Amino acid sequence: MSTDARDSRLDDDGEPGEGRVGDGPGEGRVGDGPGEGRVGDDPGEGRSGDGPGEGRVGDGRAGKGRDGGLGEGTRAVRAGLPEPVKYEPTLPGPVFAAHFHLPGDPTGPYTYGRDENPTWTHLERAIGELEAPGEPDVETLVFASGMAAISAVLFSQLKAGDTVVVPDDGYQALPLLHEQLRAYGIEVRTAPTGGDAQLSVLDGARLLWIETPSNPGLDVCDIRRLVRAAHEGGALVAVDNTLATPLGQRPLELGADFSVASDTKGMTGHGDILLGHVSCRDPRRAAEVRRWRKIVGAIPGPMEAWLAHRSLATLQLRLDRQCTSALALAEALGGRPEVAGLRYPGLPGDPSYAVASRQMRRFGPVVSFVLPDRSWAERFLDGLRLVDDATSFGGVRSTAERRGRWGGDSVPEGFIRFSVGAEDPEDLIADVLHALDEAQKAAG
């Protein structure tokens, strides 16, 4: 662990009403005149939620939630916005800058564009408010992609001789990381997500990596149980929360040390940017992740960061429609004889339903199922009119794909990962059922 990693958290020493981002008076302002156009406020102000622990999961309110008196939709709309300043936009535009005016000693929040950017500051604050409402000490760092965020946690926290436990049924790019980790002298152990199987290989590990629900199989593990076991053994825990988003599941609230996500998917939801983030409570861990981002330069562009922040305002609206439609689609598929291996954590009969109900507020937009064979699956995809045959998930436009075409997932040739979008559910389900009918006719 790096001893020289600096804790460069923002907004620690701002004075009431002054909206500064940095540590020193008058630094970190965006506008021209005194008191105008500043980014931020003093700690805790402008944040949603008052008391940690309110509105926790497992209280029978899946799909809804209130913390500190504000609903999740309100929080998503307001997250990360600066205090209003006359004649300034409510969400300041992207700041395009490689360097900043910096006379004298190089102190303050904005020195060079690889280290910090005011547009990142707004977005990081917004995501932090969604990850941990009412907890201003939680730090969030944004990255150029989900893989950049994942790599930052792994390579900032592990060193030669350490052991990491990862799922063997997670995101298909994880094996690429296995190779690199082993090349650095780090032992990699794997186990399935379902049944909390990672517990069986946890002994002596330095870091436990969880992905729940898993992609693409949609298995779920008990985060609280795994966190408890890992911490008892001295291991850190990181949770890939990409599929659920913070409105579906809050890993930090469940005890994890890191919440990580590819915001390319549901968080931004429009399929037009690449982005990732890491959130954590421990300032030393955050400083180590921040240092890694600086070293490798895995930073997002200001335009991408601004688009992401704009997209967060509709997160609750998008996710509620998507989750409602995903459940309806899963129920419709359950009556089809050609569909096997149907998985959706929100289905009462799903193997993951009991655990998912205890730790998730929403069950996500992804449904998976298996059609008889490869040609059957391809005919089905060809017959869809409202669904794009494309990879990724979480967007407002429904997508579906035969995952076996990539070769990295251990799934049958007819396995379909279906990401439900924001279309009217009646239209979407009718399109899916029609495509299944047409594929069945072609099969004879």
pLDDT over threshold 90, residue 29: no
Average pLDDT over residues 106-116: 92
Give the whole-angstrom CA distance, residue 111 versus residue 109.
6
Q: How many helices (H) and strands (E) does the chain have?
A: 11, 14
Q: Evaluate the CA torsion angle 327, 332, 337, 339 in order and state its sign.
A: negative
Helix (H, G, I), strand (E, B) or coil at 22: coil
**Pick from 91, 269, 267, 395: which is nearest to 278 by CA?**
267
Q: What is the pLDDT of residue 68?
A: 57
**DSSP states of 291-312 as a string?**
HHHHHHT----HHHHHHHHHHH
Amino acid (one-letter) located at 65: G
Q: Return the structure tokens found at 211.
A: 């992905």
pLDDT at 62: 41
Percent of the chain whose pLDDT exceeds 70:
85
pLDDT above 60: residue 244: yes
**DSSP letter string over 49-97?**
-SSTTTT-SSSS-TT--EETTEEHHHHHHHTTPPPP-TTS-SSPPP---
Type of residue found at 239 = V
pLDDT, tens only, 32-75:
333 333 333 333 333 333 333 333 333 333 445 556 578 999 99
Output the six-digit token pair for 108.
């303050």
Cis omega (within 30 of 0) on the bond before 283? Answer: no
Cis peptide before 345 (omega within 30 of 0): no
When pLDDT is cut at 50, 70 and 90, the band that residue 15 belongs to is very low
Residue 66 has a pLDDT of 57
Question: Could you tell me the two tokens for 204?
Answer: 């002596």
> What integer pLDDT is reported at residue 67 of this predicted model?
60
Mean pLDDT, range 147-171, rounded to an integer:
97
pLDDT at 14: 35
Model confidence over 356-383: pLDDT tens digits?
999 999 999 999 999 999 999 999 999 9
Q: Count Cα neighbours of 394 within 13 Å in the Cβ-side half-sphere.
A: 30
Backbone dihedral angles phi then psi of residue 401, each to the nearest 5 degrees = -155, 160
Angle between helix 146-157 and 283-296 (nearest 10): 120
Range 396-405, long-range pairs (CB < 8 A, 24+ positions): 396/269, 396/270, 396/271, 396/318, 396/421, 396/422, 397/271, 397/421, 397/422, 397/423, 398/423, 398/428, 402/374, 402/377, 402/378, 403/216, 404/374
Mean of the per-residue pLDDT values of the chain: 87
The DSSP letter of residue 15 is P
Per-residue exposure over 144-183, b if at least 16 CB sit within 10 Å of its own CB, e if not: bbbbbbbbbbbbbbbeeebbbbbbbbbbbebeebbeebee
Task: Report d(CA 268, CA 44) in Å as an integer.
Answer: 25
- Its pTM stands at 0.85
Residues contacting residue 299 through CB under 8 Å, at least 6 positions apart: 113, 114, 117, 120, 142, 143, 144, 293
In this predicted structure, what is the pLDDT of residue 61? 39
Sheet with strand 340-343: strands edge to edge = 340-343, 366-370, 415-419, 399-402, 388-389
The residue written with tokens 């009431």 in the block is 16
Contact 244, 220 (CB under 8 A): no
Give the tens place of pLDDT for each residue, 120-145. Answer: 999 999 999 999 999 999 999 999 99
How many Å is the Cα radius of gyration of the chain? 22
Using CA atoms, how far apart are residues 225 and 370, in angstroms rounded to an integer? 30
Strand partners, 211: 240
106/218: higher pLDDT: 218
173 or 430: which leads in pLDDT: 430
State how far the Cα of 120 lies from the Cα of 115, in Å rounded to an integer: 10
pLDDT at position 18 is 36
Q: What is the pLDDT of residue 357?
A: 98
The rounded distance, in Å, linking the Cα atoms of 44 and 15 is 11
pLDDT in tens, 400-412: 999 988 877 789 9
* pLDDT at res. 9: 35
pLDDT band at 85 (very low <50, low <70, confident <90, very high): very high
DSSP alpha helix (H) spans, 242-301: 283-296
Q: Give me the pLDDT at residue 34, please.
A: 34
